[in-house]
Structure 1
């Protein structure tokens, strides 16, 4: 069987892929019977299977292989959670509204799509407005000029209510991470209060995107696979030796700022040694992620890690690198690898009624000096009335922060006035003898520390799109054009297609038995007896099935029971004994055997 590759222009691939995805049951816009809803997609039978396989592969690598826990938290959380996390104030995108048709658009996307600016998200709003005016940018929907239109912030959170009547406000989570952070006081117990430890979660997240686009690349409901890894920033170090030789393509901020800056080809070890990746934990997870992406079928010639510019980093991140894939000449974000420091746990510790720290046991007890106050309430009560406790709190805080303030006869403290606010703070002098200040020695066995968080956060839907896009192929077989998906066996929705050559009870009986044997070994198999054998091959090729088994008359007439096994990419065929077929294909799926070596 002759096979000839035929190039497919990259800019056409997405259009063809979306059509294939809809026709073959990978994904399609939801609620089509009611006109569809922008930003919401349904994964069909093939897509749901592919998605499940990718999630299982992620779980195996980032949860099981790393020894991390997994949880499944609710998708709706009460408002105070997002007050603490900062999402209510900072989780915004830039919106510009067309004065003619009224359509709303992401202002940074309008700039990026029509100018040389690649990361307009990192620009301040006044500068985005200037760029729109300077380039005379227009509404993508109707072509009306947008110069002079105000660019405003738009919070992406989906609001809801919890309970009837005067119910409590809540939000659909914009990231799965907060479901992990708010449960930290209990999760640390499951980890026996020992750092480092990791908690993973695969689940839905929701963002009310201004202008969802490009099918499942930018949607309003999507799946995240996130790992929150809790570390002691002073003591815990990653196993860099295990990933130091992993080759990576990096696009650091310094190169993005430089005229003519370019990507760097290096290794994880060299990137850390040269200071390109400053955070060793982030570097470690980059080293894990790169071969994982390759194993599920992402084209490494179209893959890189790009460092966030300072203006585009999330409010919680000290540093962040994105895994990016090239689609139709554009780079899209697949994952973010961030050092979230102690931001999240400190915020929840401040806002909640629980403790978000871990007790760090010393190797040996330490003797430390501790400044304390024991105020004379018989003096403070009459002097300050209802504000006496505020005075005590101020004295305790000052003792911890600045002992020298108690060296004179009086100590000065500040209390907010009745109106509140910094401008109305009042200064009061307290006799030191009434403050009861002292410095005592104390032997302690350890201290409470707030762990730092390293977060690899993966967008599963974008990974699915990338895997399909990078797997899309067109070629010619025996003079006929063929479209196929060169999916990795590990993630392909169906691993084997089984066909009886013709409608014949004996052939069909053998085919049924083969399907049953394959499924018993955990191999996804489909039975197809519709149409000629060539059409059946084409159907399975188009959905990415790696192997097809044909039961023909040689199978039932010859002394040795054999079948024809066809490999998808090369279309090569081999006859294999039925007796060992399931075990042989299982070895191929597990990577222990190559089809070409049979």
Structure 2
């Protein structure tokens, strides 16, 4: 394995067409990147592997929701009030920076400053005399402010219908839950997946694709009955990964521990079985797209990091450090048990019901308190408040039927107390036969970043070696995510070799393979170009091809070559890509 610096990786990415900063002709715009032809193809492949594993194989539905949603959605979800980062502004150069990043990048020993309160961040900045990374001016005494990360817009002309670019894809799933539940025939558990763009107006974008303002998320929202539904852990019980639990992070000698998913559940490291299941699924997926699992771990959120609604949360993290430097762990995805927080919020703020009717195995008879207020009494007694008093009586009967045990009962409407004789409320206890009940599902959420996964796969697959006395750089990407599957070259573009090579390239494309055709320069240089973008196989058409119908196929990693029949080429490459054959077996 060869480690690569971030600078060298970004240079390769730009030179070979993986990704580049957007609008460079206009000076560039921070936090926005364009995926070039290689990057767009690789990104599409990464998305397809996620879709296959998290949606198709799991039997979940997939949707595509708008990227702009109206303001009430984010009022209900809490994003308007709580989707903030801590900002500090330099008094000298005026540059704004994320205050928690200033703390983490300084020599403070604090790795996760995001969970600290702004007041504590101010204290740390002063204590360690932290300075502006742009101009070096001290930041002690500067106010730490909360900055909302959402991009605001207007829906339609004028400003009467404010909206926001979504900061996550999840809300587009939650707000349509009533309809999706119907599609699932009200049977739990069921999952809804989505791959799409999200937007966050980051204070200080940095590290190319690792901190941007527009990015692609792949999210699954799994709706479960918390009392009955459990996953089949046997499918992932033997998957191995590194686990870094919260208690280990709090110890000076705490280190990640390598164990199987089954062991992590048995030892109580991962308490929720649904989270454990998707950690196993994700570990297999990350390995399949080219991450080095020795530089990968699952880190549990410490109590100060947990959202108030989350019972447990784990992050998938990858190390993308420069050579000979300490590990640089970045978040690749989050796995949270969100309980019924999201559905209950939209249930309360919208006009729809975010519940599912749960059918009992056998009908049950229960005692149910009811009220039938005498409006002929409430109207003259309470005037315009009579209707609200009647509603309050109904709610009280449901919540506290014992309140009707005396001669009078008191309810509160808009801060004012109203006392009603019990005989005027029509209170009664009735026996009712029920066939089921309405329940609000809980949500399990694996949320993965596609851009960061792509960057980390490039970082972890970077290799350098020497071939025939010449230094070589190549990307050891799995064929499933490599931008191009096969390169096709004529030995020379003459004597019919070019025509036959172009025919073979067209045949392979017709069979669904991603093909690069190249007849420019020496054959060795053409190999190097394909190696550097991760193309796993190259095919050379030479004079023997015209004689016996065979071509040379070359393996990227070993650089071994062998001859196969051109008529069998597509099936041979497909078998290699699918893992049904190995190059050594050819």
- Does the alignment reach a TM-score above 0.5? yes
1:29: Cα distance to partner? 0.5
Pairing partner for 1:238 from 222, 231, 238: 231
| Inter-partner Cα distance in structure 1 for 2:571 and 2:317 | 37
Moved over 3 A (4+): none
What's 1:590 paired with? 578
2:75 aligned residue: 83
Tell me which residue corresponds to 2:401: 403
What is the 5 A alignment of 1:498-537? 498-537=488-527
Corresponding residue SS for 1:550: strand
Contact between 2:389 and 2:418, CA under 8 Å: does it hold in 1?
no
Task: Tell me what 1:208 maps to.
Answer: 201
Question: Pick from 282, 288, 301: which aligns with 2:294?
Answer: 301
Alignment of 1:50-69 (within 5 A): 50-69=42-61
Listed one character per residue, the Cα deviations across residues 137-184 of structure 1 (whole Å, up to 9, x for unaligned) are 000111010111111111111100000134300000011011111111
Residue 393 of structure 1 pairs with residue 391 of structure 2? yes
Q: Kindly state the Cα deviation for residue 503 of structure 1 after the two structures are TM-superposed.
A: 2.0
Mapped pair 1:482 → 2:482: no
1:431 corresponding residue in structure 2: 421
Return the alpha-carbon distance in structure 2 between the equivalents of residues 315 and 572 of structure 1. Answer: 56
Query: 2:25 aligns to what?
Result: 33
Superposed displacement of residue 103, structure 1: 0.7
Per the alignment, residue 539 of structure 2 pairs with: 549
Distance 1:84 1:514 in 2: 57
Separation in structure 1 between the aligned mates of residue 101 and residue 517 of structure 2, nearest angstrom: 46
Instruction: Identify which range, 294-303 or 387-396, moves more after superposition.
Output: 387-396
Contact 1:474 1:484 in 2 (8 A): yes
Describe the superposition over 1:42-86 as per-residue Cα deviations: whole angstroms up to 9, x where unpaired: 000000000000000000001100000001010000000001111
Distance in 1 between the 2:582 and 2:439 partners? 51
How far does the alpha carbon of each residue in 1:347-376 deviate from its partner, in whole angstroms, 9 at most, with x for none? 111111111111111111111111111112
Q: Distance in 2 between matches of 1:92 and 1:497?
A: 47
Alpha-carbon distance in 1 for matches of 2:5, 2:557: 18
Q: Aligned equivalents of 2:432 and 2:349: distance in 1?
A: 30
Please show how residues 248-327 of structure 1 align to structure 2 within 5 Å.
248-327=241-320
Using the alignment, how far apart are the partners of 1:110 and 1:515 within structure 2? 52
Select which of 338, 349, 352 maps to 1:351: 349
Structure 1 CA distance, aligned partners of 2:393 and 2:238? 55
Query: CA separation in 2, counterparts of 1:353 and 1:46?
Result: 46
Partners of 2:398 and 2:123 in 1: CA distance: 48
Q: Distance in 1 between matches of 2:263 and 2:428?
A: 52
What TM-score do the two structures reach when normalised by structure 2?
0.97
Q: Is the 8 A contact 1:13 1:472 kept in 2?
A: no
Q: CA deviation at 1:505?
A: 4.0
Q: Within 2, Cα distance between the matches of 1:96 and 1:453?
A: 35
Match of residue 336, structure 2, among 338, 348, 362: 338
Residue 115 of structure 2 corresponds to which residue in structure 1? 122
**Aligned-partner Cα distance in 1 for 2:159–2:270:** 50
Tell me if structure 2 keeps the 8 A contact 1:376–1:435: yes
Is the 1:299–1:470 Cα contact (8 Å) retained in structure 2?
yes
Separation of aligned partners in 1, 2:496 and 2:308 = 66
- Does the CA contact (< 8 Å) of 1:521 and 1:586 recur in 2? no
Q: What is the Cα deviation at residue 405 of structure 1?
A: 1.3
Larger displacement relative to structure 2 (464-473 or 435-444):
435-444
**What RMSD, in angstroms, separates the aligned Cα atoms of the two structures?**
1.2
Q: 2:104 aligns with which of 65, 90, 112?
A: 112
Q: Distance in 1 between matches of 2:241 and 2:460?
A: 18
Matching residue of 1:192: 185
Cα deviation for residue 321 of structure 1 reads 0.6
Q: Give yes or no for the alignment of 1:132 onto 2:122.
A: no
1:315 positional shift: 4.5
Q: TM-score under structure 1 normalisation?
A: 0.95
Distance (Å, rounded) in 2 between the aligned partners of 1:503 and 1:165: 61
CA distance in 1, matches of 2:259, 2:493: 57
1:530, 1:454 → 2: CA distance?
A: 52
Task: Report if aligned partners of 1:472, 1:486 keep a CA contact under 8 Å in 2.
Answer: yes
**What corresponds to 2:324 in structure 1?**
none
Local SS of the residue matching 1:128 = helix
The answer to whether the aligner puts 1:539 opposite 2:532 as a matched pair is no
Pair 1:575 & 2:567 matched: no
What secondary structure is seen at the aligned counterpart in 1 of 2:353?
coil
Post-superposition offset of 1:428: 3.1
Cα distance, 1:466 vs. partner?
Answer: 0.4
Q: Counterparts of 1:468 and 1:589 in 2: how far apart (Å)? A: 19
Of residues 376, 379, 388, the one that matches 2:377 is 379
Contact 1:90 1:315 in 2 (8 A): no
Measured in 2, the distance between the counterparts of 1:165 and 1:116 equals 49
Cα deviation for residue 318 of structure 1 reads 2.3
> C-alpha offsets along residues 255-279 of structure 1, whole Å, 9 cap, x if unaligned?
1122211112221112112211111
Report the Cα offset of residue 410 of structure 1.
1.5
Q: C-alpha separation between the residues in 2 aligned to 1:502 and 1:89?
A: 65
